[in-house]
Amino acid sequence: MNREPDQSAIPAGDPFAIFEAWYAEAGAAEPNDANAMALATATPQGAPSVRMVLLKGHDPAGFVFYTNAQSRKGAEIRANSQAALLFHWKSLRRQIRIEGPLAEVTPAEADAYFHSRPRVSQLASAASDQSQPLADRADYHARLARLEARYPEGSVIVRPPQWTGFRLAPTAIEFWLDRPGRMHDRRRFERESPPGPWRSTLLYP
């Protein structure tokens, strides 16, 4: 079978610029939560776990999400900072894999994002011992009611110290683009450590 050589649709330039372009297209095409990404963490012994979180900020310094640091993922992050992210945009038939270490955002960043959320989300986060056993949902609702009484409408809800954010500083970013006949397009960017220079290569699909 003879085929004319084709060119990669994924350029070898700046991976952050490629991410920006794909992310903007996903925002216009995906019906729900184009910023949803799978976050994979692991224990110090290497036992993995994965869950969906929402991207809440990104720039060349990294990719930011927020969570309760006393949750399972928070405990794993504190014990083993290496993590991975995966964006899968089914409507565009594209994926982006991102790998690197996580570091906690500053208290000012966490405060700013916490107070940008709807009041009900702030209260729900403050009332939750995320990932911990819950005997009855009524207990959670009772906690929420006590916080609503403590913080009447219009008052500033204090961010719980365990509610914070993490930034993944990427050491690898891989782009995957669907093509017919399983001849997919893949390009991987790697660097030793941020903010070092990127190297890129195409990968067999």
Active-site residue set:
182
Q: Count the helices and strands in the chain (H runs, E runs).
A: 5, 10
In sequence order, what are the residues at sequence separation of 6 or more whose Cβ sits closer than 8 angstroms to the Cβ of residue 16? 59, 60
Give the tokens for residue 109.
């960043």
Residue 81: φ, ψ to 5°: -75, -10
Alpha-carbon span 88 to 26, nearest angstrom: 10
Residue 186, helix vs strand vs coil: strand
Residue 41 contacts residue 85 (beta carbons within 8 Å): no
Taking each helix axis as running N to C, give the angle between helix 119-127 and helix 107-116, from 0 to 180 degrees, rounded to the nearest 10. 120
AA letter at 189: F
Alpha-carbon span 48 to 114, nearest angstrom: 28
Give the tokens for residue 143.
């906690």
